[in-house]
Amino acid sequence: MNAAYSVVPVLVRLYSQARPDVRLVLEERIPTDIEEMLIEGRLDAAVTFGGSPATHLRTTLLARDRLRLIVPKGHRLAELDIADPTDLASERLIAAPASVTPTLRDAIRNYCAAPGVAPHFALEPRLQHTIIRLVAEGLGIALIPQSLCADLAEGLVSRPIMDAPKFDIVLCASAASSNPAVPALFEVAERLGVVLPSPDGKGAKGA
């Protein structure tokens, strides 16, 4: 997910400095798989989108991200200083399905619905980077996390959107976890202080 390019490298660096005796194994998973894998003990901890509080999970906030528009260069929306939902009314949207990332899908749908726009979801790939590639091919436009807009491929333009939906990026683990390496990870996360990359290319930094 997008956090892999902003929060995770900082968290891994600081944790490795604090606990050089712990071997970290990193895996990429879609958001809807993560909670089940934590409960079943197939993951010790995960960085994912925040959602409704779950008593069986321990969570801590790492950062906040927001949605941003990406379009091909030459697209009519590339000329806007800032877009609003009505600008998207006639466009083919590319977005991951709710079965993969409900947080992002709900944010996009609710954002468009507020002024009465019915979004046209033309393509529904599972991965954000596939979405970006499809936009680059001229197959539609997309609203993606701002943290993915700092290093877009040639031929793509990102633009801010009015009242952009925000969402949390959190570290979570099973509240019943007995792995002795997990508490130290939360200690690092709670003092992290991450600044997400901005679309001008400025990188993340940790406390």
What the block records as the tokens of 86 is 């009505």
**What stretches of 114-165 adopt beta strand conformation (E)?**
120-123, 142-145, 156-159
Query: What count of other Cβ atoms lies within 10 Å of the Cβ of residue 183?
Result: 11
77 Rama class: left (phi>0) / alpha (psi -120 to 50) / beta: alpha
**Gap between the terminal Cα atoms of the chain:** 22
Nearest residue to 98 via CA among 108, 85, 89, 111 = 108
Q: How large is the angle between the packed helices 31-39 and 102-113, nearest 10 degrees?
A: 140
* Contact call for residues 121 and 93 (beta carbons, < 8 A): yes
Please check whether the domain covering 2-63+167-190 is classified as CATH 3.40.190.10.
Answer: yes
Q: Mean of the per-residue pLDDT values for the chain?
A: 88
* Alpha-carbon 9 to chain mean position: 14
Give per-residue pLDDT as tens, 88-127: 999 999 999 999 999 899 999 999 998 888 999 999 999 9
pLDDT band at residue 205 under the 50/70/90 scheme: very low
Give just the sign of the alpha carbon dihedral 20, 22, 28, 33.
negative
Q: What are phi and psi of 28, to 5 degrees?
A: -100, 130
Q: What residue spans define the domains of the chain?
A: 2-63+167-190, 65-159
Residue with tokens 């969402």: 167
- What's the CATH number for 65-159? 3.40.190.10
Those residues with Cβ within 8 angstroms of residue 35's Cβ, 6 or more apart along the chain or in another chain: 54, 57, 172
Q: Is the pLDDT of residue 53 over 70?
A: no
- pLDDT, position 3: 60
> 65-159: same fold as 2-63+167-190?
yes
Query: What count of other Cβ atoms lies within 10 Å of the Cβ of residue 188?
Result: 22
